[in-house]
Amino acid sequence: MAAENGNADLADDGSVAGFDSLHRLLQSSLPPHLFQEASRLLIGLNCGKTLDSVALPAPAKSLSLNHDFDLQAFSFRADSESLREPRCVRVGLIQNSIALPTTEPFLDQKWGIFQKLTPIIEAAGASGVNILCLQEAWAMPFAFCTREKKWCEFAEPIDGESTKFLQEFARRYNMVIVSPILERDVNHGETLWNTAVIIGNNGNIIGKHRKNHIPRVGDFNESTYYMEGNTGHPVFETAYGKIAVNICYGRHHPLNWLVFGLNGAEIVFNPSATVGELSEPMWPIEARNAAIANSYFVCSINRVGTEHFPNPFTSGDGKPQHTDFGHFYGSSYDGLLISDMDLNLCRQLKDKWGFRMTARYEIYADLFARYVKPDFEPQVISGPLLNKKTL
């Protein structure tokens, strides 16, 4: 346990009082019947239902033991249908800390991450993962907080080293891979973007999505590095289902989630890099709310650990300068989370709740069309304003 981090409930590894999730903390602290009730209220597990864990093959487990990363697998149930076969997909999410200090040569840092990820990706392949997603800007330290331009060197074209590295795994394991990178658009004057490259299960590049919303909060002033995305809300039809990527800060924008849904996404990935002090309480609410509101699966990833940078920077809030911007709360360990999901659940929830049918898009479209015009006036209807004098 560490008191140095200013929070006596945070262990040295950043976990919550020694637990790697709120769920485990509750499980260990509450009597079984109260834990069951807490689970029902928090994640809808009622009547003694538990989250089903999935048995993984021995080679995947050995990789996790030998290379010291966490490996867990669960499954979501959908009802069986009379007219459709189940559409089961195995999804893998990787979150990790960087491999080398940020003071090491850039090439070594990048190859260090490649090396660190290799056994984790192999474990995903050995487990039969169909679609794998990595964290935001996975091939570099999350240096955007520094606002120093030298970190732009990590930017790569869509078909650069990171993509080539992953294409090999995609082919070997017949796996779709979502690869969020800092992109250098060589055909457009070397412009930088925060981009997710979608690599198909044959190693082909299916397409890319560029992050739509740039954070300007705390130390996340990322506009120094890349532009607001210009790729809209693409949904990628892969061999295993229709997927989309809502990159990090985009998760605070319900309309961003909505439009991926309108374009037909069945799974939306949210690769992120964010720190506990800023956003941890919002995180599980936003992801689950997006899944509920849009009748699709949401798969969220954060980084792991604390990254220290060579030169101090300030947050523009009058507080002392510092060399890190806090703890990425992905987990206390590098890890691969696997989840089996039957995509039939998306339609089952649409049929049950009818959110698409009841949405009234036309009235929102009308409001938005008026709102974006300079002469927009909010629809506020005021009655006579009574105050004590007039009474």
Catalytic positions, please? 136, 211, 248
Nearer residue to ligand URP within complex by CB, 122 or 136 = 136
CB closer to ligand URP out of 71 and 248: 248
**Region 220-279 residues binding ligand URP, contact defined as CB under 6 A:** 220, 248-249, 273-274, 278-279
Q: How far is the CB of 195 from ligand URP (least distance, A)?
A: 13
Q: How far is the CB of 144 from ligand URP (least distance, A)?
A: 7
**Which string of x and - marks every residue 5-44 that binds ligand URP (by CB under 6 A)?**
----------------------------------------
C-alpha distances in angstroms, 301 versus 157, 195, 311? 23, 15, 28
Burial class (CB in 10 A: 0-12, 13-18, 19+), 163: buried
Site size toward ligand URP (CB under 6 A) is 9
Count of Cβ atoms closer than 10 Å to residue 89 Cβ: 22
235-252 core/surface letters (b: 16 or more CB in 10 A; e: else): bbebebbbbbbbbbbbbe
- Tokens standing for 142? 């999350």
Integer angstrom CA distances of residue 10 from 1, 305, 323, 329, 341: 7, 13, 20, 11, 32
Instruction: Rank residues 1 and 255 by Cβ distance to ligand URP and give the closer one.
Output: 255
Minimum CB distance to ligand URP, residue 222 (Å): 6
By beta-carbon proximity to ligand URP, the closer residue of 60 and 248 is 248
Give counts: helices (H), strands (E), the chain. Answer: 10, 16
- Shortest distance in whole angstroms from residue 141 CB to ligand URP: 13
Minimum distance, C-beta of residue 250 to ligand URP, in the bound complex (Å): 8
Residue 103 gets the label, from left (phi > 0), alpha (psi -120 to 50) or beta, of alpha
59/312 Cα distance (integer angstroms): 43
Q: Which of 141, 215, 229, 241 binds ligand URP (CB under 6 A)?
A: 215
Residue 151 makes contact with ligand URP by CB under 6 A: no
Residue 291 C-beta: closest distance to ligand URP, Å: 18
C-beta closer to ligand URP: residue 245 or 248: 248
Please enumerate in sequence order all residues whose Cβ is within 8 A of that of 204, keeping only pairs 6 or more positions apart, or say none. none
Binding mask 117-136 for ligand URP (x = CB under 6 A): -------------------x
Residue 231 in 3-state DSSP? coil
The dihedral over CA atoms of 245, 246, 248, 253, expressed in degrees to the nearest 10, equals 180
Minimum CB distance to ligand URP smaller for 273 or for 336: 273
State the burial class of residue 272 (Cβ atoms within 10 Å of its Cβ: 0-12, 13-18, 19+): buried
Distance CA 315, CA 131 (A): 37
Calpha distance 77→340 (Å, rounded) = 9
Return the axis-axis angle of helices 58-67 and 106-126, rounded to nearest 10°.
Answer: 150
Task: Name, in order, each residue with C-beta under 8 angstroms of 38's C-beta and a sequence gap of 6 or more.
Answer: 26, 30
Between residues 119 and 141, which has the closer beta carbon with respect to ligand URP? 141
For the bound state, the minimum distance from the C-beta of residue 257 to ligand URP, rounded and expressed in Å, comes to 14
- Look-up of token digits 């080539």: 164
Q: Which residues sit at the interface with ligand URP, rule CB under 6 A?
A: 136, 215, 220, 248-249, 273-274, 278-279
